Amino acid sequence: MKVFEGKKAAQDYMSAHTLAFSTPELTLMRYSFWLADMIPDPKDKSSTVPRIMSYVEEKDFAPVEIIDDEHYEPTGAVRNTGMYGSGSKVTDPDAKFCSECGAKISASARFCTECGATQE
């Protein structure tokens, strides 16, 4: 995958150009023209390429896990915050049941610890 190193390009541009009196629109326009300037190709000096191509590098990224918004699986990472009630099994006689899955939850819980459904 080819990736544009925009931060490095912006730092190179800002370090070589005085922009103290420029408006943001003018700065952005000058930066975009600077990126589009034709320069000698770093790999083949007999040809030219836009400067932006000197900031594009080939990178190999690991596949990203797709997040399914339709299905919630609690990890238990936030059970002790109080938002989910108690992290331990509920033995309180004032406990209530989840409106979605029917699991027994704390009376003060705003979310179910099993399915993540919002409680009213």
Determine the straight-line distance between the first and last CA of the chain, rounded to whole angstroms.
47
Average pLDDT over residues 72-94: 58
Per-residue pLDDT reduced to its tens digit, 8-65 = 887 787 777 766 556 677 777 788 888 888 899 888 889 988 888 888 888 877 777 7
Q: Answer whether 65's CB lies under 8 Å from 57's CB.
A: no
pTM value?
0.38
Q: How far is CA 24 from the centre of its chain?
A: 25
- Rounded to whole angstroms, the Cα distance separating 30 from 97 reads 61
Q: How many CB atoms lie within 10 A of CB 114?
A: 17
